[in-house]
A and B are shown apart, each in its own frame.
Chain A
């Protein structure tokens, strides 16, 4: 099983629908992140969380919300999806105890909003 699991892997939805992307990890890492990737724009940070009680906005948080239900679970919600939220979304984790503090990514969730 993957260390960082994202569900769903692919989702097609309509404008105005509420969508939740889920992320769970078995790495025991305390830090979790949500990024979106668009062609030519690289990875942009949406939200990040350093523990269950810590939630922080990233570069592009408008239109998104998150919930850190447990150390291992971090979900991203689009309350009312719009077409320009069509993108590839990645969850990532890192461990502050590790000197390198590198990011480990999930496989990604491809979201299409019609």
Chain B
């Protein structure tokens, strides 16, 4: 059974650019969540998508957005990148809610 796949693994972008990250969940999982991990702030929840609808959102500016497709694959987009957006972005999928979340290997974004 394939795990959660995140692409790309590494990205280097320039301030002011935008970036799109991709996440393919485990087959049959309809919930996809995104988290940002930084040394200073730790692991913070960005948003969750379920059946193509954003169901929950963390405290991040509007520059951070996402979407989910009918096959449950999800993308997150960050516009007008800032140096502080440099982080490991992790995607997690679950069947529904509380049972448990499976994480991907993450995308390491560096903004220069």
Q: Bound pair: A and B?
A: no
